[in-house]
Amino acid sequence: MRIAIAGSSGLIGTALVESLRADEHEVLRLVRRPATAPTEVTWDPYKGEIDLAALSGVDALINLSGAGVGDHRWTANYKNTILQSRVKTTETIAKAAAELKVAVLINGSAIGWYGDTGTSEVDETAPVAAGFLPDVVRQWEAATKPAVDAGVRVVLARTGLVMAAKGGAWAKMLPLFKFGVGGKLGSGKQSWSFISLADEIAALKFLLTNSAISGPVNLTAPNSATNAEITKSLGKALRRPTLFPAPAFALKLVLGEFSQEVLGSNRVLPKKLLAAGFTFAHPDIESATRTLLK
């Protein structure tokens, strides 16, 4: 396949490009500067500009763009950056998908759609919750409309917390645990819906070729875990104590509004993936932790 990817330099994008090329697919990377290689295509999502001629013959578009929700404190300006970095990129990609008449557009999304689910399990049929992140995800997914209207198969990859040593939340937590100063966050009772990086890449490739799947798809392991269980698993794997919890008030002081996401609970099921026959290599926190530390 000839595949173009936006957000190819991020945690998931880098691993996906490597995996697709290993499978001998032709991969084009969308870059926000003049292209310097035949495998690069220039675009400017904030101006709605993309080199369609260079994308001629592309079978699939994958959009993984978006500013990290936990990278900075949620000021009004950064909240706007979180929103626009998703909506503007998706609008540009969706219009390109419609014009190019690609077979599939896989657009990044997030389980933030569901908000805090408490102890309840939810799947792709659950309605959007209230709050900042759910509203971001709602607008993000709605921006794919030009591609949907053009008859393109659109998949909304609602990804959970990706477990990887070199990026995301785990890259920040691992050093603390390695030095023996890690611990649960808040009460530790909140559930986190995670997915190993290997399963994330495998799921995206599965969605790329499975023409029967469209719309929202949860990319989460089938077994969520509480923060306390995750803490215990990391401590056990690293053979380090986990005696230094971060109390809720301290997280709220340091993280501000984003602390609601850290202390909130969600139990998101990958119903569509399981129904389609996808097999998780790391379905639980123990196996996911082992691969995280390799």
Q: 95 lies in which domain range?
A: 2-163+193-220+267-280
Residue 260 is assigned to a structural domain of this protein: no
User: What is the three-class DSSP state of 126?
Assistant: coil
pLDDT tens for the chain, residues 1 to 294 = 999 999 999 999 999 999 999 999 999 999 999 999 999 999 999 999 999 999 999 999 999 999 988 888 889 999 999 999 999 999 999 999 999 999 999 999 999 999 999 999 999 999 999 999 999 999 999 999 999 999 999 999 999 999 988 877 777 777 877 877 778 888 889 998 999 999 999 999 999 999 999 999 999 999 999 988 988 888 888 888 887 776 666 657 656 776 677 778 899 999 999 999 999 999 999 999 988 877
Backbone torsion region of residue 201, taken as left when φ is above 0, otherwise alpha when ψ lies between -120 and 50, otherwise beta: alpha
Specify the amino acid at residue 39.
T
Instruction: Please give the torsion angle defined by the CA atoms of residues 228, 231, 235 and 240, in that order, rounded to the nearest 10 degrees.
Output: -90
Residue 121 sits in a domain of what CATH number? Answer: 3.40.50.720
- The pTM for the full model equals 0.93
User: Residue 92: what are its φ and ψ, rounded to 5°?
Assistant: -65, -45
CA dist list (Å): 156 to 111, 248, 286, 291: 11, 32, 28, 26
Residue 34 is assigned to a structural domain of this protein: yes
Rg over CA atoms, the chain? 19
Q: Please check whether residue 231 is in contact with residue 183, taking contact to mean a CB–CB distance below 8 angstroms.
A: yes
Residue 238 is assigned to a structural domain of this protein: no
Residue 142 is assigned to a structural domain of this protein: yes
Residue 244 is assigned to a structural domain of this protein: no
| 274/283 Cα distance (integer angstroms) | 11
What is the bridge-based pairing of β-strands 161-163 and 194-196? Answer: parallel
Residue 212 is assigned to a structural domain of this protein: yes
The end-to-end CA distance of the chain, in Å, is: 31
| 29/104 Cα distance (integer angstroms) | 17
Domain count, the chain: 1
